[in-house]
Amino acid sequence: MSEQRQFKYIVRIAGTDINGKLKLVYGLSEIKGIGYTTALAITRTLGLDPFMRTGFLTEQEIKKLEDAVRDITKLGLPSWLYNRRKDYETGLDRHLITSDLIFVARRDIEREIRIQSWRGVRHRFGLKVRGQRTKTTGRLGMTVGVRKKR
- CATH number for the domain spanning 16: value is 1.10.8.50
Has residue 100 been placed in a domain? no
89 pLDDT band, cuts 50/70/90, is: confident
Per-residue pLDDT tens over the stretch 113-138? 999 999 999 999 999 999 999 888 88
Has residue 56 been placed in a domain? yes
Has residue 63 been placed in a domain? yes
Has residue 66 been placed in a domain? yes
pLDDT of residue 118: 95
Beta carbons of 78 and 42 less than 8 angstroms apart: no
Has residue 98 been placed in a domain? no
CA atoms within 13 A on the CB side of 61: 22
pTM of the complete model: 0.76
Has residue 96 been placed in a domain? no
Domain count, the chain: 1
Residue 46 is which amino acid? L
Per-residue pLDDT tens over the stretch 13-57? 998 999 999 999 999 999 999 999 999 999 999 999 999 999 999
Distance CA 99, CA 70 (A): 12
Beta carbons of 24 and 43 less than 8 angstroms apart: yes
Residue 86 is which amino acid? K
pLDDT of residue 136: 83
pLDDT of residue 41: 94
pLDDT of residue 137: 84
Has residue 115 been placed in a domain? no
Average pLDDT score over the chain: 89
Distance CA 100, CA 64 (A): 20
CA distances from 8 to 32, 57, 58, 92, 146 (A): 21, 8, 9, 37, 57
pLDDT of residue 4: 66
pLDDT of residue 106: 94
Q: How many residues does the chain have?
A: 150
Distance CA 145, CA 4 (A): 65
pLDDT of residue 135: 86
In this model, does residue 92 exceed pLDDT 60? yes
Which residue segment(s) compose the domain that 48 sits in? 10-81
